[in-house]
A and B are shown apart, each in its own frame.
Chain A
Amino acid sequence: MSNQAPLLEIKDLHVSVEDKKILKGVDLTINQGEVHAIMGPNGSGKSTLSFCLMGHPRYTITQGTMLYKGQDIQELETNERAAAGMFLAFQYPTAIPGVTVANFLRAAMKGVRGEEVPVREFRNTVKQHLKSLGIKQSFMNRYVNDGFSGGEKKRIEILQMSVLNPALAILDETDSGLDIDALKTVSEGINALRGEERGMLLITHYQRLLNYVSPDFIHVMVDGRIARSGGPELALELESKGYEEFRPATEAKA
């Protein structure tokens, strides 16, 4: 494995939205088997990073590179990134009225695999993951995220991740809006997917998800840059001191 390219390698990434600079030089490397967490205050650019990794059309990359398994992903369409094994669990999953979770999951599996999934295999795979995530079978007939509670949306995101089995999972604020029971279930889902073959990037505002999922590395993002990186102990430091001292000197007193 040592001579293989890292799972994800972001170098000096600069990103703008409508001429507003959001990311100002992000460097981040994730290897297979590693779980990284990016923590930071609102507006620091965490979600921008996750959308850029999947190729959201609203964000313009002005400088830098994003390599996934050594390949420059800027050349890839969003669905090609998904088929290559990248997955984003959305902070605010989009409702698709009129499309059932079952049809959606089948189309997603087909898209990621590049071929039709046999009905029996589809049914068995979904059934098994529904059970382990404590999601009722009746969810399969509901429209994707349409009228779902916050907790239901996040569970369905984890269900999708489990079914699609990505090599790199990016989870954007998956803990936000969850009550303690939902947080536990979702965390168990995440932990179940940890493994040698997979890399994970958890994006979170709060420390509390990290009580259930313990990352190998923590990065603090402030004002579009990674201000500091460290081990799990960094989360505790953040908990006690807050983000204030990570801000650049010119802004700290503003």
Chain B
Amino acid sequence: MYSPEVIQTLAKESQEPSWVTQLREAAFTKHQTLPWPHSSDDIWRRTDVALLDPTENFSPAISSGNNASFEKFTQPLGDERLFVRAHNQWLTQADIPAGKISNLTELAQAEPDLLKRIFSGEGMTEAEAKLATLNEAFHQEGVFIDFPRDTVDETPWRLVQLIDEQPNRTSFPMTVIRVGTGSKLTLIDEYIGVSAESDQPHLVHGRIELILEPGAQLHYVRVQNLGKQTREFLLQRAEVPQDATLTLANLNLGASLSKAHLGAELSGAGASSKIYGFVFGSEGQHIDQHTLQDHQAPHTSSDLKFKAALQDKSRMIFTGLIRIAAQAQHTEAFQENRNLLLTDKARAETIPMLEILADDVQCKHAASTGPVDDEQVFYLMCRGMSRRAAERLVVMGFIEEVVEQVPFEPLRDLLRQRIEGELHDLSTSPA
């Protein structure tokens, strides 16, 4: 179903420069030559990658022409600058004080070198490239945000990408965000699945590139809110050069299967990143998150905290790699993974991975997996709360630590309501 002919159709629709089409073709050729990730690789072992292969049973997404179901997402939640996109079209586009929000064809025309660099596959493992080349070949819902140098916007930007979850079709969103030297931007990037009421899967192959210039500050929040029949592969990478600061929060609420690779490369002295992750798992959700804290320069810091609250039969896999290059002396890297199991059948696995070649660094990792703490529940019950109320309060508190990283109150409220609404009561049997 996915062939060079599909690429020709995409090229015509987007009216992109011919060299972009050639990059697509090269990516598809590369995809075909690379092997699928093997289960001997710890990062891939626990997820069946065949479920992420669109080439056999999936077709390209088409515009349904029915935008009525998208309308309800076009109202702002508060005073944010809202951009809503579906089927490669803007439904809402707020005024912005500076910079540019456009698509990948415009990016290709304005900044050919930048797009070429993104397509180069540099810094990817072969396994990642096997999947990422699919998006490079077939991307059709591209967003390019270019925030110029020496600009500060205290108002959050909220980008809503509506994914039309047509059964047995694949969406390939690619988002490129660049923040200029000395600038400061808060961007919330929501992927909302608009479900097609089908028991057949939809597939999303996503790519996110966050490019900070020296001294830039970006607070980036990704909310994955896909439907229950949707599977996702995401490759999200960030480049954090000298004195740049990146705060990331990746919140996973939906999808039946999500395999996400989230990386931050600290490439210049003084670069720092804070990375938060959250997974709320229900039913049979399978959420496999791989993170890379990649220290390539001295005097860099990264602090990662990933939390999961898992109910029903959901499963979370966290593999967190800290890589510190030989030249990256005086580096601090921390990693923490906390998993709360809300039922006997929920499962979490956590695998920290360290590749440390420098000798003068501070590096720590911690992980825990377990049920709601009896002592916390007892304390709350001593204050008059029922077991049910106490357990819910503990779980919401656990979640709050990540929710509070969302720098926009109306969305925080929405997330709390959503999670609290979906949170089942725990077992009523005494501990």
Q: Which residues of A contact B (CB under 8 A)?
A: 54, 56-57, 77-79, 81-83, 87-88, 90, 93-99, 103-104, 107-113, 143, 160, 164
**A143 to B385, Cβ gap below 8 A?**
no
The smallest C-beta distance from A168 to any residue of chain B, in angstroms, reads 13
Complex Cα spacing A94 to B379, Å: 7
Q: Is B384 an interface residue (CB 8 A)?
A: yes
Besides A83-B384, A96-B380, A113-B384, 15 other A-B contacts (C-beta < 8 A): A54-B378, A57-B378, A79-B382, A79-B387, A93-B379, A97-B400, A98-B396, A98-B399, A99-B394, A104-B383, A104-B393, A107-B383, A107-B393, A108-B383, A110-B384
A-facing residues in B386-426 (Cβ within 8 Å): 386-387, 389-390, 393-394, 396-401
What are the residues of chain A within 8 A of B431 when measuring CB–CB? 57
What are the residues of chain B within 8 A of A83 when measuring CB–CB? 384
Question: Can you report 24 A-B residue pairs in the complex whose CB atoms are below 8 A from each other?
Answer: A54-B378, A57-B431, A78-B381, A78-B382, A82-B382, A82-B383, A82-B384, A88-B382, A94-B379, A96-B393, A97-B398, A97-B400, A98-B396, A98-B399, A104-B380, A107-B385, A108-B383, A108-B384, A108-B385, A109-B384, A111-B383, A111-B389, A113-B384, A164-B383
Q: Is B283 an interface residue (CB 8 A)?
A: no
Q: Is B155 an interface residue (CB 8 A)?
A: no
What are the residues of chain B within 8 A of A82 when measuring CB–CB? 381-384
**A77 to B401, Cβ gap below 8 A?**
no
Complex Cα spacing A63 to B387, Å: 26
**B384 to A112, Cβ gap below 8 A?**
yes
Complex Cα spacing A99 to B398, Å: 8
Complex Cα spacing A123 to B373, Å: 30
The smallest C-beta distance from A154 to any residue of chain B, in angstroms, reads 14
Task: Give chain B's interface secondary structure class.
Answer: helix
Give the bracket for the number of chain B residues in contact with chain A: 20 to 34
**A112 to B383, Cβ gap below 8 A?**
yes
What residue in chain B is nearest A163 (Cβ atoms)? B383
Task: Give me the 10 closest cross-chain CB pairs, A-B, nearest first.
Answer: A111-B384, A98-B397, A98-B400, A112-B384, A108-B383, A78-B381, A94-B379, A99-B397, A82-B384, A111-B385
Number of A-B contacts defined by CB within 8 Å: 86
Complex Cα spacing A95 to B375, Å: 9
The smallest C-beta distance from B413 to any residue of chain A, in angstroms, reads 14
Give the residue of B375, B382, B400 whose beta carbon is less than 8 angstroms from that of A99.
B400
What are the residues of chain B within 8 A of A143 when measuring CB–CB? 397
Complex Cα spacing A82 to B398, Å: 24
What 1/0 flags go to B317-332 for Cβ under 8 Å of A?
0000000000000000
Q: Which residues of B contact A (CB under 8 A)?
A: 373-376, 378-387, 389-390, 393-394, 396-401, 430-431
Give the residue of A79, A109, A113 whose beta carbon is less than 8 angstroms from that of B381.
A79
Given contacts A96-B397, A97-B401, contact A57 B384 (CB under 8 A): no
Give the residue of A98, A99, A111, A160 whose beta carbon is less than 8 angstroms from that of B386.
A111
The smallest C-beta distance from A92 to any residue of chain B, in angstroms, reads 9
What residue in chain A is nearest B430 (Cβ atoms)? A57
The smallest C-beta distance from A64 to any residue of chain B, in angstroms, reads 21
What are the residues of chain A within 8 A of B381 when measuring CB–CB? 77-79, 82
What are the residues of chain B within 8 A of A93 when measuring CB–CB? 379
The smallest C-beta distance from B337 to any residue of chain A, in angstroms, reads 15
**A77 to B387, Cβ gap below 8 A?**
yes
Complex Cα spacing A104 to B390, Å: 10
The smallest C-beta distance from B39 to any residue of chain A, in angstroms, reads 37
Complex Cα spacing A104 to B387, Å: 14
**A57 to B401, Cβ gap below 8 A?**
no
Complex Cα spacing A143 to B398, Å: 11
What residue in chain B is nearest A90 (Cβ atoms)? B379
**A79 to B384, Cβ gap below 8 A?**
yes
Complex Cα spacing A97 to B401, Å: 8
Complex Cα spacing A94 to B380, Å: 9
Given contacts A97-B401, A98-B398, A98-B400, contact A79 B386 (CB under 8 A): yes
Give the residue of B384, B389, B397 whose beta carbon is less than 8 angstroms from that of A97.
B397
B380, B387, B396, most chain A CB atoms within 10 A: B380
**A160 to B383, Cβ gap below 8 A?**
yes
Complex Cα spacing A56 to B374, Å: 9
What residue in chain A is nearest B403 (Cβ atoms)? A98
What residue in chain B is nearest A58 (Cβ atoms)? B374
A81, A107, A112, most chain B CB atoms within 10 A: A107
What residue in chain A is nearest B393 (Cβ atoms)? A99
What are the residues of chain B within 8 A of A108 when measuring CB–CB? 380, 383-385
What are the residues of chain A within 8 A of B378 when measuring CB–CB? 54, 56-57, 78, 94
What are the residues of chain A within 8 A of B400 when measuring CB–CB? 97-99
What residue in chain B is nearest A89 (Cβ atoms)? B382
